Amino acid sequence: MTPPLLSRRDFGSWSVGGLAATALLHLLGREASAAPQPHFEAKAKRVVHISLIGGLSHLDSFDYKPKLAKLHGKKLDTTETPDIFFGQVGLLRQPDWKFRPRGQSGLMISDLFPHVAEMADELTVIRSMTADSANHTPALYLGNSGFQFSGFPSMGSWASFGLGSESEELPAYVVLPDPRGQPNGGAAVWSNGFLPAEHQGVVLQSGESPVRDLFPKEKQPAEAESRELLKAMNAAHREHSGADDLLAARTRSYELAARMQLSVPAVADVSKETKDTHTLYGLDDPKTAAFGRNCLLARRLLEKGVRFVQLFSGGPVAGSPRVSWDAHENVKENHTLEAERIDRPVGALLRDLKQRGMLKDTLVLFTTEFGRTPFAQSGPTIVGPGRDHNKYGFSVWMAGAGLKAGSVYGATDDIGWKVAERPVPWHDFHATVLHLLGLNHEKLTFYHNGIQRRLTNVHGEVVKGVLG
């Protein structure tokens, strides 16, 4: 028996449920507004954002504190009561990894990230980040959207809104979650908020169906004929009822979804990459294969015109075993496992982008929601193996277009607890990212609930000291 063709109702139902709906909203947005334009000449055309969930210890990675090693086992010398998340202040503890000068720049990076360290001369490390919250979910929202609450557009959504996509076949903003699970906050982390829905992050997963609902549940033997029939029916409807912008946009959304049916599987198929490329990204090692594939996919998406690709390292912070960087119990154990998954792929991504000439106009971001304390999370007389949350000072790095490569900006105090020089709140970080994309953070606004909203709220200054 010949299977039935996809009915008009079924076809419409399928389109609403998945990427076709995004395509529709994408086209509706195009109908409503002119093509986005940068405010001034951009240094970066595209962004890849690597977000570490749980709180990377800056003291064990990118913030060299030799005094902390000398004070190992000593009490914190302060009269104030530390305002930390769990309130357990143990004795000061030294880093778990050795720091070494790297590259010609001599940038101090620990042995936690040996492959990233090989690309030290491309990094711009900010050692004076601050956050307004030491709670995972609000801090993660803040680092992504500039607000501690859900419902606000993410940085990737603002980039999509401000610049649009360079591709007619792929979305402007693509999200690659950790295969072990989504971060705390879930899809709200890459939400479009109150921006038009075309600017939401589109999630790509591994496997045969990288995008949910991109294809009908059942293969249609005469799909082309079905579309021709729908086209004729829609034309008849227009002739009878007059022009309908919504129907016209919906029709074109089907066409865009059809193009995505070809483009998404093609770009997600990394099997055609060379064996050397697979080895470079660590696809030959079970420890690095999952994140390596995401890093390689990120490069392929950028090549195809995707504006903003966001990769997550770490899933939800709750549960056992931990699948994030939340190292309360044991930093050495936790960070070793997590770094082994991403160090080689991230180093490979930087190297690959540079070899292809893409790093000069690509901005790479490596962030975490906050850092860890210089003292152990334990009793007042114990040097425990864990560290608590630290919002007062931590490190992130950037690389690529328009930056002062092989440099350090800002500093924490002698033990790496609080910022001592040139603090960088998230609003300043976001303003700087937009600036490198050719966007003025004060002019990139959207009217919502009686106010012109922006990524940086009512704050933000470009961090000129990191610019090349």
DSSP code string of 374-442:
EEESS-TT---S-EEEE-SSEEEEEEETTB-TTEEE-EE-TTSSSEEES-EEHHHHHHHHHHHTT--TT
Q: What is the pLDDT of residue 101?
A: 98
Domain assignment of residue 435, given as a range: 38-214+271-466
* DSSP label of 106: T
Evaluate whether residue 304 is within a structural domain: yes
344, pLDDT greater than 80: yes
Q: Which of 318, 51, 14, 24 is nearest to 178 (CA)?
A: 51
Evaluate whether residue 241 is within a structural domain: no
Evaluate whether residue 183 is within a structural domain: yes
* DSSP label of 171: -
10, pLDDT greater than 50: no
424, pLDDT greater than 50: yes
Residues of the chain above pLDDT 90, percent: 69
Bridging pattern class, strands 308-313 and 46-52 = parallel
Evaluate whether residue 95 is within a structural domain: yes
CA dihedral 364, 403, 154, 164 (to 10 degrees): -90
Q: What is the pLDDT of residue 8?
A: 45
Least confident of 63-67, 269-273, 455-459: 269-273
| Local confidence band at 172 (pLDDT 50, 70, 90 cut-offs) | very high
Evaluate whether residue 261 is within a structural domain: no
Count of structural domains, the chain: 1
| Strand intervals (E) in 291-370 | 308-313, 362-368
Least confident of 15-19, 61-65, 364-368: 15-19
Evaluate whether residue 244 is within a structural domain: no
Evaluate whether residue 14 is within a structural domain: no
* DSSP label of 13: H
* DSSP label of 22: H
CATH number at residue 72: 3.40.720.10
Q: Which of 181, 190, 204 is nearest to 314 (CA)?
A: 181
Q: Whole-prediction pTM value?
A: 0.86
Residue 359 and residue 2: Cα distance in Å, rounded?
52
Helix, strand or coil, per DSSP, at residue 2 = coil
* DSSP-assigned letters across all residues of 77-103: --SSPP--SS-----B---SS-EEEET
Evaluate whether residue 113 is within a structural domain: yes
Say which residue the tokens 């190992």 belong to: 72
Least confident of 58-62, 268-272, 278-282: 268-272
Neighbouring residues of 41: CB distance < 8 A, sequence distance ≥ 6: 438
* Average pLDDT estimate for 272-286: 96
Q: In terms of pLDDT, which residue wins out, 380 or 307?
A: 307
Contact between 167 and 304 under an 8 Å Cβ cutoff? The reply is yes
Neighbouring residues of 455: CB distance < 8 A, sequence distance ≥ 6: 145, 146, 153, 155, 158, 430, 431, 434, 441, 444
Q: In terms of pLDDT, which residue wins out, 227 or 66?
A: 66
Residue 247 and residue 194: Cα distance in Å, rounded?
23
pLDDT tens-digit profile of 104-135?
A: 999 999 999 999 999 999 999 999 999 999 99
Q: What is the pLDDT of residue 321?
A: 74
Retrieve residue 358's tokens: 């893409």
* Average pLDDT estimate for 207-231: 60
Q: Which of 258, 72, 26, 297 is nearest to 176 (CA)?
A: 297
Least confident of 142-151, 237-246, 312-321: 237-246
